[in-house]
Structures are given as C-alpha cells and as structure tokens.
Amino acid sequence: MTERVLILIEDSPTGACRKFAQAARRFDLRPVMLSNNPTRMSYIAADEVDAIQVDTGDIGAIIDACEQLTLTYDIVGSTTVSEVFCPMAAMVCRHFGLPGPDPEAIKRCQDKFVQRQLLTKSGIPTPAYRLARDAVAAIKAAAEVGLPVIVKPVTGRGSSGVKLCRDLNEVAEHTDFLLAGKHGLPPLPNVLVEEFARGSFYTVSTIGSEVAAISAADFSELPYFTMRQFTFPAHLTSDENDRVVAVALQSLQALGLGWGPVNTEIRITSRGPVVIEVNPRIVGAPEPELIRLAHGIDLYAEALKPFLDLQPDLRKTRSHAAAARWLMVEQNGLLQEISGEREARAIPGITDVELKVEAGTPLVWHGSFQDVIGHVFAASPSPGRTDAALRQALDLIKLSVVPFPKRKDKEQLANVE
C-alpha cells in the first residue's frame, strides 16, 4: 500500500504546525513540510519531519513539489496554521482533486473589507466600517463612523497594525503609518476604519458546521489589541451561547466557509453579538491546548479527519476549566534576569510554563503578537482553582529589564569599548 502524505505549508510564530504533524502520524500519515526556510523550525529535525525547501509564495512551485511527491506517495490533504498560506493549502487540495476548503472563499475572507461587505449583505451584525485610501479619506470615515475608531490594515494577522484612534489627528497619523508600510508589512493601498465595538470578546472554533469550542480572551492595554489572557470554556449564559453560535454559523454560510476549521471572533455588545473577524483556519495558540486540557478534544486531530472522510468527534471527555496567559514584552530594554519560573511550574494546576527568551536578550515592544515571549497554562476541575493557580504563577515570574541606554550613552559605551 502506498504511504499517505499530509502536506503542511509554512508555520506560525508559535510553531503550531508541529501539532498537525504529530496528529498526522496518529492517522498513519507522513507529514511533509513545505517551507522557504525549513531550518528555522527546530522541531523539523527533532521530530524527523520531512521538509522540502520551496518558494511558498509561488503556487506553481508548491504544486511542482507536490507533483514530485505523488511519484512516491499518495497525498491526502494540505493544510497550514498560517493565515498567509491558507489559500495555497486550499489550492493544493483543489489541484489534486482532494477534499478541502474553497480557495476563492478563503481569499475573499482574508480581505477584511470584502469580508465585511459579505457579512453585511447577509444581515450579519458587524462594526460600522469604511475603506480609506489616504489620511483625508480616513478622517472623513472616522467622522462618519464616530470616534473613537479602529484603524487597521485590510489584510494581515496577529493584530499587527491595529490601533484605537481617539481623535482625528491619531486617525491621520496611523493611516499614514500603515500606508507607508511602517508596521512590518509591505505598504498598503488602503486601510479599514471601523467602529470600536465594546463588549466581551469570544472566539468560536468550528470544524465544518460543528462548533468545537467557545473561548474568551482579554487584551493588553489600549490603544492596541494584542490578546493576552484566554479562558476556556467561556462563561456564557445559555442565551448568550445560542446567539453567539448562531451568528458564527451564519457567518460561515455567508462567506462560503463550510469545510474544515474556522475561528470566528465575536464581541457581545449592547446590540448583541457582533462579528469582529472570521479567520479561515484552525484557531491559533493557545486555544487548541486549552480545549484539550479542559474538554479532552484534540482540535488538530479532529481538523484532519475531513481529509480522511472521517467525521470529527467534538464530544468532550472531561469538564475542566483551563486558562492561559501570554508573557509579553512590556518595555524596550535588555532582559537582565528571569526568576520564579521553576517555582511557578510547581504550583498545582499549572500545566506548562515556557519562556522563549533568556537573560541577555534585547526586548523590543511592537504592540502586536510579536510581543509574546512566553506563556503560562493552567487547568483544574473548577474555574476558581484554575484562575487562582494562574494568578499565583504569574506573581512568581519576574522579568528584570534594564532600559536601553540613550544614544549618547551608547556612543560613550562604544568609546569605552
């Protein structure tokens, strides 16, 4: 029998594709990573995952690499955890006649303005929004929507470039900042100006038309929108749960996303559930791990089942409460010392503590997912015990950061050296 292969295309900064590779092996699939730089993923060698270096920005090159694999293997599917490469993974499935999501639906969904248009056309509540091509248009849009507004890239991920602007000067400044490509992405032709929807934030994880989980998240301090703390399951009333689920499933239908994993971000506002964003991929870390800790559901494994003509099993095998907190860069400077990590791990209910930096690392604040430098996970049979364990662990972990010297100080140091 010909060995079956699952194609993985690139990875996210959290390395979550490793979970897909591990899940693939449990189905006797051989994971093969396609990447323009496989060596940057440490687990490729550690887990003995096959990797092919290819220009992953070129669908033709990806297809050619897969065609070569078909000389030896049967490809059963293609997936990714990276927002950028979701269309590529879907196009591989379509090229080989495999089950998978609609590539065109994914592309439409990734344009936040087009996504909003499709949702609005279907009567699904979203924040009020406008498209702006320059600062003048953004100011006009903000006046129409009503201050404060959120100004953000039309495409992108991880809250990069997303900012709450409280006055028209801030709107103009941030629009110019985004259009010039100063947020770490290429220059943009336009930006999205949208209403600041106030309310508790939830993420609905689905596979096909089945709801796997609803988690809650809190953010770092405004004016930026980096998710910081996560709770699963979300604390919702029965009515809130039903309304959030209904809006999420309606969004999938409106966007043509009825196949595979999707995560829908929703705020419950004074006018009810409002869709903030729909992402055509498996929900990002740490939520899959929280879902596993709390309900025993392996979201990565269940997300692969549709490739194998198997029905995902989203029934929970336990009823625990899980929570996570990102450890984040708080200020620019040199990380001098880390303490309390070992003591935090020893607390009952703490399931994982990880720091991805060490003493001597320079830290630079970005106001986006790039600020994440570690995490703490907790789980127990009750929300109260989970929250207490998480708080206790966070109180123990201390990062000592020395501010970078001023330019004159740097020059003086250089002269001394």
Query: pLDDT (tens digit, 9 = 90+) per residue, 376-391?
Result: 999 999 999 999 999 9
Over the range 330-358, which residues count as b (16 or more CB within 10 Å of their CB) and which as e? eeebebeebeebeebbebebbbebebeee
Has residue 187 got a pLDDT over 90? no
**Residues 98-125: what's their mean pLDDT?**
97
- Do 352 and 392 share a domain, yes or no? yes
Among 282, 308, 334, the domain boundary falls at: 308
Whether the per-residue pLDDT at 173 is higher than 60: the answer is yes
pLDDT greater than 50 at residue 409: no
Boundaries of domain holding 352: 321-402
Chain centroid offset of residue 306 CA: 22
Give me the DSSP letters along 342-406. Answer: HHHHTSTTEEEEEES--TT-EE---SSGGGEEEEEEEEESSHHHHHHHHHHHHHH-EEEEEPPPP
Within a domain: 304: yes
The pLDDT score that the predictor gives to residue 14 is 83
- Tell whether 211 and 300 lie within a shared domain: yes
Q: Which residues contact 149 (CB under 8 A, 6 or more apart)?
A: 141, 142, 164, 165, 171, 193, 194, 195, 196
292 and 348 in a single domain? The answer is no
CATH number (domain holding residue 287): 3.30.470.20
**Residue 415 located in a structural domain:** no
C-alpha dihedral sign at 362, 350, 222, 370: positive
- Predicted local confidence at residue 183, as pLDDT: 62
- 281 classed as catalytic: yes
What's the number of domains the chain is made of? 4
281, 292, 318, 407: the catalytic one is 281
**Residues counted in the chain:** 417
Residues 1-26 have a mean pLDDT of 94
What CATH number should be reported for the domain holding residue 164?
3.30.1490.20
Identify whether residues 172 and 213 lie together within a single domain: no
| 185 part of a folded domain | yes
